[in-house]
């Protein structure tokens, strides 16, 4: 939905800062519900899959099982929280009908999208940092490549924040915001090489796994931490950036046409 008023640089910056501040305060204000549960859940993954089962599994690709799964678990927390933050926040704005105030204001559509995405990225990275600190108590992690580690986790948070925005646009009731995370996001994450190397799979399932986009993100992040990956790094970057570009274009197009937003 196009803005009816011209946007000026200073007003645009103020609008962006306000949206980012609102979205940041939203998850920090209720940190017991937004940041603590993921930390507890991921700690249980480390205890159960790492300490208890990992000792029986043995090394994976030359690393201890705990070291191998740590990057995947960190990435899993980033993906889940980035997505969840944006879809719940944007659908809440739709449900309470205060999103209409933004749409008729001079705020450009790209600022609206950037504000919500920034909130999702912030929560995703914050949660990822907490899980990383927890992981350091279970595994001796040393970063192989800082640029790769930071860029992959940031771009992944951006991608799934945009995904959450799209889900929020199309959702018509609260049940709709749980369908994608439950039936699509969670299975793809668990089958994305978090707990195993795809090289262990039979040839057919290795090929099938290549259709899972999360596999590329988990492996690219694992390369940044451990220096080992089942997927070429350039392909992972190309896929992530391609999905971000497509998701951004689609989000702005939907906002422009008011799809899912007009009564």
75-93: pLDDT as tens digits: 999 999 999 999 999 998 8
**pTM for this predicted structure:** 0.91
Radius of gyration (C-alpha) of the chain in whole angstroms? 19
Q: Are 141 and 227 in contact (CB under 8 A)?
A: no
Q: What is the pLDDT of residue 2?
A: 47
Q: Give the model's pLDDT for residue 15.
A: 87
> For residue 70, what are the CA distances in angstroms to 51, 83, 162?
12, 20, 25
Query: How far from 174 is each of 113, 117, 165, CA to CA, in Å?
Result: 21, 20, 14
- Closest to 227 (Cα-Cα) out of 161, 113, 141: 141
- Segment-wise mean pLDDT, segments of 10 residues, the chain, 263 residues: 57 89 92 88 82 74 86 93 94 85 85 95 95 88 92 97 94 86 88 85 87 94 91 94 97 88 65
* Structure confidence at residue 76 (pLDDT): 93
């Amino acid at each position: 939905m196009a803005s009816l008023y011209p946007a000026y640089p200073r007003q645009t910056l103020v609008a962006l800062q306000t949206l980012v501040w609102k979205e940041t305060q939203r998850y920090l204000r209720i940190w017991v519900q937004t940041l603590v549960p993921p930390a507890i859940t991921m700690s249980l993954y480390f205890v159960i899959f790492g300490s208890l089962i990992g000792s029986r599994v043995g090394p994976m690709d030359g690393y201890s099982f705990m070291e191998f799964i740590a990057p995947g678990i960190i990435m899993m927390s980033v993906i889940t929280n980035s997505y969840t933050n944006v879809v719940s926040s944007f659908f809440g704005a739709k449900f309470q009908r205060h999103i209409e105030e933004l749409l008729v204001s001079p705020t450009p559509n790209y600022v609206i999208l950037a504000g919500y995405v920034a909130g999702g990225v912030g929560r995703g990275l914050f949660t990822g940092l907490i899980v990383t600190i927890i992981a350091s108590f279970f595994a001796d992690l040393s970063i192989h490549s800082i640029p790769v580690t930071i860029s992959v986790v940031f771009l992944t948070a951006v991608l799934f924040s945009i995904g959450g925005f799209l889900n929020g646009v199309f959702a018509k009731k609260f049940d709709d915001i749980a369908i994608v995370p439950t039936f699509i996001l969670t299975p793809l994450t668990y089958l994305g090489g978090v707990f195993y190397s795809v090289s262990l799979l039979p040839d057919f399932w290795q090929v099938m796994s290549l259709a899972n986009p999360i596999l590329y993100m988990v492996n690219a992040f694992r390369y940044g931490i451990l220096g080992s990956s089942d997927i070429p790094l350039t392909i992972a970057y190309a896929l992530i950036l391609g999905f971000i570009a497509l998701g951004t274009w689609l989000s702005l197009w939907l906002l422009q046409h008011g799809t899912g937003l007009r009564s």
